[in-house]
Structure 1
């Protein structure tokens, strides 16, 4: 709670400040470090990572060795709409910082001028007459509020933190974008693999249907075997359009992510042998301890920087409790002249020869909101409450980051453990189908065992592929959870956008600075240079 100050106490504080120099009201921000993070060493997470030097997890998708995926990442970096918007928000925050920095200089710098014509009529014994006069004036006014209480310095501090937060948000969009591209890409590859399995099983079941149909027509079997074979074949056949639809939808999603209209992506198969292939990487390649990985996640960095910005805004609000001292200056020139007719226009020489006056006024001005009726004090409380909200949000962001990492690691370990068992189960199901066909042809069993074996084979093959997909998805989620994928070679503002904006507005060197600044570094703690 901020105590309400009486007028006398405020005056005393003001006098002390004037004598001792400028001060900075409001709290100084200190990063909020969660102690539990330093000891975060979940054994499941440790099992899911491998400390290696290559490849760098800032471009983790290289672990898959898939050139098609790497091309998609490059195109997404260059054309994704959300990433472009994030880059433009960095530019906006930089301009906002420029506005805040202007508070260091005189806030009022105005030049004004006026020319007024006055007409008057006089009546007397000799009749009515009229006269007119011109008045001219030019002035220059300046007002400079001294930053005794740090109002403008705190505003610059808040804008600076917001600027770095926008950069962290840009990196967070990169992390999410790369995870989405990879996840959608392997969703498509999974659908291709399942489509292949469905078509192969449909071919096997169609052959069985043809055999039972021939046996039924020759009277060697009853209609039940025929209908069962037909049912199983048509059931498998019905799954094919669903997988084809999944492939198409995944391609549409990839098209949108890389900034294209929805449509096919023929270049996805430029690297042969990747269609329907789901790689298995048994560990995530990381290069740092878990605590550092969590705290340098872009969204965690952004949450901390928003706290720093809001902390500075408390100081801006507190500065309103104290008087403002402004240096005022005015330089004015005025002249007047009279003419016999109101319509006459004086020449420049006539104006110059008319009586004129030059005035200069300089001095301080003090203003103080003494009777604010709680408005200023409650505004300080509002800003402090917002800071506390951001503090809680930051703490929750760190906890959520740890949970996401642990969940992804748990999913990856489970999928890796199931992989070998499902592979063996698929081989056993394939052998069971071969044996079932043999004993059925030799008349030692009925057709039901063949159908069971076909269903088991299809289920095991599909489960194996889906588990592989889950392993890849968990690996991608793990990289995303620890903030991997913030690197790009593309500038924040692409050349086409830069040219379009420069045609509308004079951006000076500001847009050039951001255009030449790709995200290639990890954000540093609040208050430090980047």
Structure 2
């Protein structure tokens, strides 16, 4: 092949590429959900639709509780939790995959090789003296191929890898949301159990005093055994509730230890016994429902996953058409005998490959990828429906637990007054001891119900913030992956700048487009 022929061929090939190059497959756009636009609740009076929602309002919602112990626990969970570190490593993996997809757009070395041989042989025909010959041969060469992205196979591959990378970032943020809410929920469940144990112990002390009094009166013949046994039964029944509460307290503490990546045992951050649960001020949410739903990291991840799958249709469709490549090879060979002169070889030109006999298999694969895309689109729709439901459920729970709290506070006050009156009438001889026992039992029950509802209200508030997608912060890979893990990985593999490269802060509008890198 002459240089002139090669040049003309390359010029012609370049012209064909410039004229005919296209990108197969659909251009993904995030689906528009008409029902979501029409869904305009006020979340039972907790939503101010006139104000715009901002990430900063929900990013550190737990600070509204003004609890330094909770602040400390959440910060440590966000840096020490193993599942969150795994999610960060998943982001790193998806970034590496994106780099691999981008590299396919450049020429690829198909083969680099060298070989040499040394041969020693002995010849004898039985008539002449034997003789020995030895010689060496050697050759080396390299061949390079560059498949032109004529049908957009590599462009779609990059698009898919880029969307998968963005989805991994959204998944990491969604895990932040879940872990922050889980930490706060467990923490206040632990505090609630502590206070329930305190209430049980206080009532046990009161009931033990009543039991001792009835024991003395019975021993002196002033009371019947019925009063004695009833007082004893109530006292022992209260004592029986304490071991189960103590078991729950230890289990909740162990659950926090797991989030903190610690073995079961005391947690210094929990401190001592609380006096009461915090009073949560009424929530004033901002934004419109569609914004509140679509900003959730799990919804963003679902949208990006659909975008990643959409690009796979184009990758599959490219196999239906011929692949156009440029190739070149260079070689050097020779031997020690000098029979042939050392020489250089060079070849270059276009190449076409076409899996024309695999048309049925390739067409089926295109249909497979399209079916998978539709699955991700339906999954996205289902994710948004579920997100709307969770927000509404949490909002009504906040309102109703607050309403129940007002009633239970009055009920507990009434029970305290009833016990005061029962004790007075018993001492004055106007009521029997059974009225005192009933009043004690009622006060214990109402105080317990009020405290449990307070814990449920706090849990509802936490859940509402979680359903709104609050509790995540943009993190760099240095923050996602601890330094000791990154150092171990550096010592094992050359990661270049991937361990320090920035991560996108905004993951909205999942659609086809340029790389996020």
- TM above 0.5, yes or no, is yes
| Cα distance, 1:168–1:436 mapped onto 2, change above 3 Å | same
Matched residue, 1:278 = 277
Conserved 8 A contact 1:426-1:461: yes
Residues 54-133 of structure 1: matches in 2 within 5 Å? Answer: 56-119=57-120, 122-123=123-124, 126-133=128-135
- Number of residues of Structure 1 aligned to a counterpart in Structure 2: 496
* Structure-to-structure mapping, 1:402-441, within 5 angstroms: 402-441=388-427
Shift of 1:111: 2.1
Whole-Å Cα distance in 2 between the matches of residues 38 and 257 of structure 1? 37
Q: How far apart are the structure 2 equivalents of 1:488 and 1:268?
A: 27
Asked if the contact 1:57–1:285 (Cα under 8 Å) also holds between the matched residues in 2, the reply is: no
Retained in 2: the 8 A contact 1:17–1:23?
no
Q: TM-score, normalised by structure 1?
A: 0.89
Q: Distance in 2 between the 1:467 and 1:203 partners? A: 24
- Hey, what's the Cα distance between the residues in 2 that align with 1:16 and 1:231? 97
Residue 120 of structure 1: how far off its partner (Å): 5.0
CA distance in 2, matches of 1:411, 1:458: 25
Q: Which residue of 2 aligns with 1:47?
A: 45
Check whether the contact 1:189–1:276 (CA below 8 A) recurs between aligned residues: no
Alpha carbons 1:191, 1:243 under 8 Å: kept:
yes
1:36 equivalent to 2:46? Answer no
Please tell me whether the aligned partners of residues 80 and 260 of structure 2 are also in contact (alpha carbons under 8 angstroms): yes
Secondary structure of residue in 2 paired with 1:23? coil
How many Å apart are 1:354 and its aligned residue? 7.5
Instruction: Could you tell me which runs of 5 or more consecutive residues in structure 1 were left unpaired when the two chains were aligned.
Output: 1-13, 339-350
1:285 to 1:356, Cα distance in 2 relative to 1, 3 A: farther
Report what 1:526 is aligned to: 510
Deviation at 1:54, TM superposition (A): 11
Task: State whether structure 2 residue 147 is matched by structure 1 residue 168.
Answer: no
What pairs with 1:318-329 in structure 2 (closer than 5 Å)?
318-329=317-328
Instruction: Map 1:433-512 to 2 at 5 A.
Output: 433-487=419-473, 491-512=479-500
Partner in structure 1 of residue 4 of structure 2:
none
Quote the offset at 1:277 in angstroms.
2.4
Residue 286 of structure 1: CA displacement?
3.3
- What TM-score, normalized by structure 2, do the two folds share? 0.91
CA distance in 2, matches of 1:159, 1:301: 16
- Per the alignment, in what secondary structure is the counterpart of residue 499 of structure 2? helix
1:11 is aligned to none
RMSD: 2.4
Q: Secondary structure at the match of 2:104?
A: helix
Contact kept, 8 Å, 1:77 with 1:488, in 2: the verdict is: no
List runs of 5+ in structure 2 lacking aligned partners: 1-12
Counterparts of 2:215 and 2:457, CA distance in 1: 42
3-state secondary structure, aligned to 2:144: strand
Change (3 A) 1:53 1:526: closer
After TM superposition, give the deviation of residue 406 of structure 1 in Å: 0.5
- Secondary structure of 2:241 counterpart: helix
The answer on whether the counterparts of 2:412 and 2:450 sit within 8 Å (CA) in structure 1 is yes
